[in-house]
Amino acid sequence: MESSGFWRRTPAFTPSKIHVEYSGQAITPDTAVRGLSSQRTPSPEPTSRPLTTTSQSPPSDHLSPLSIQSPLSAQSPHKPADPTHEKFHMALGAATIDLALLQKLSWTGIPREYRAITWQLLMGYLPLASTRRAGTLQRKRKEYGDWVRQTFARGEDALDRVLWRQIQVDVPRTSPGSPVFQNPRVQRCLERILYAWAARHPASGYVQGINDLLTPFVYVFLEAECNGDTTALDRADLDAIDDAQMDGVEADSFWSLSKLLDGIQDNYTHAQPGIQRQIVKLKDLVTRVDHTLAAHLQSEGVEFVQFAFRWINCLLMRELRLASIIRMWDTYLAEPNGFAMFHIYVCAAMLLKWSAQLRAMDFQQIMLFLQQPPALQWATEDVELLLSEAYMLKCLYHDAPRHLHKN
């Protein structure tokens, strides 16, 4: 694999040519025009040891009061010294959140202690007005808790057996390398969330891959319950999180997953037309940016659907570490239509990164490479450089399909 440096693409202002320079700089929306960037310190990969908690009960009658509290509650009374933390501290402390400002700050990464509340605000789960936030959170958590209690009150025999069985098969396979998601207590939460979502969305129902999309929410909200002390979660030591707090994590994860899937629901309806359209867009984009690579893939009989289907269906959850995915989602949530449109540019940037290697491979080598791309060891810097390249592709090609098309 190439080093953690990445390309910087500079338009040569011709219909069919982009001048490419190799660079180690990341480009953000604020620095794209000037070509400036800033490096970020890699965040540690969530790691943990197995635990033994086995609670399987549905949510309790009373969901926890605001377990994800005011964004300032976990902070010291003193203003944060770090400039990034200070900006989030000020933005989230406003009586009414400036959404555009929060999106701008989040694009380059959200500090751990602010991530849960920021994700919920960016997704529209929580209102921007601080006076409405506590009531909304209690109402949504109660709504979910009431539904779960009613649904599971008669036991598993009263459930849709086919759906429940499929979820029970898939949940243990979710993030198999993470002891957090192998914890029986967490797995029961995943099962209830996935069943609730499928039951409330009969047009699409449960599709394999949705279980993967749930894990970032659960991890981030569990992290928030650790009050910024990630060592407890890294050890998969969830004993300090009581049932009421777990109920809050479960409800918040359900509603956040619902918000996410509302924007890409065509990906999971019959025949998954949303994914098919995005694969076509990805192929067209790669053909315009790197015609030589696209021609080589075609000559070797490689179809984009053979590797890109999973990239889109699971949002690269199986190609990248959880820590990388969480950082990527900071940017996706700050982008308009980030999980659909911007994701295509990320997939294209990732494919183009390995253009030289792929052009030297035959069909079998290409398929093995793309099914297990060398991205699991990426640091935060590598992910941010990938996002920067995706942003540049978006600036060059979005809404400009004709005059930039390579003839």
pLDDT for 399 equals 76
pLDDT for 118 equals 98
Q: Which residue blocks in 300-362 are alpha helix, DSSP H? A: 305-313, 322-334, 343-353, 355-359
pLDDT for 176 equals 86
**Residue 398 pLDDT level (bands cut at 50, 70, 90):** confident
Q: Is the pLDDT of residue 23 over 70?
A: no
Q: Is the pLDDT of residue 50 over 50?
A: no
CB 201 within 8 A of CB 262: no
For range 203-210, the mean pLDDT: 89
pLDDT for 79 equals 55
Q: What is the mean pLDDT of the chain?
A: 83
332-372, pLDDT tens digit by residue?
999 999 999 999 999 999 999 999 999 999 999 999 999 99
For range 152-162, the mean pLDDT: 91
CA distance 190 to 130: 29
Q: Is the pLDDT of residue 117 over 90?
A: yes
Q: Torsion angle, CA of 216/175/279/268, rounded to 10 degrees?
A: -70
CB 291 within 8 A of CB 405: no
CA distance 167 to 174: 10
The burial class, CB within 10 Å (0-12 / 13-18 / 19+), for 337 is exposed
Q: Is the pLDDT of residue 70 over 90?
A: no
pLDDT for 28 equals 59
Give residues with Cβ within 8 angstroms of 108, minimum separation 6: 28, 38, 40, 330, 331, 384
For range 385-397, the mean pLDDT: 96
DSSP letter (8 states) at residue 22: E
pLDDT for 104 equals 97
For range 190-215, the mean pLDDT: 93
CB 172 within 8 A of CB 187: yes
CA distances from 207 to 80, 170, 172, 252, 318 (A): 43, 10, 15, 21, 16
pLDDT for 37 equals 39
CA distances from 312 to 101, 251, 299, 303 (A): 28, 26, 24, 15
CA distance 348 to 294: 11
The burial class, CB within 10 Å (0-12 / 13-18 / 19+), for 100 is exposed
pLDDT for 269 equals 87
For range 47-55, the mean pLDDT: 38
Choice between 240 and 329, residue whose per-residue pLDDT is larger? 329
Please give the model's pTM, rounded to 2 decimal places. Answer: 0.81
Tell me the three state secondary structure of residue 288. Answer: helix
CB 103 within 8 A of CB 287: no
Q: Is the pLDDT of residue 6 over 60?
A: no
Q: Is the pLDDT of residue 78 over 90?
A: no
For range 210-218, the mean pLDDT: 97
243-286, pLDDT tens digit by residue?
999 999 999 999 999 999 999 989 998 889 999 999 999 999 99
Task: Copy the structure tokens of residue 41.
Answer: 């310190």
Q: Is the pLDDT of residue 61 over 50?
A: no
What are the backbone angles phi and psi of residue 354, rounded to the nearest 5°?
-105, 20
Tell me the three state secondary structure of residue 77. Answer: coil
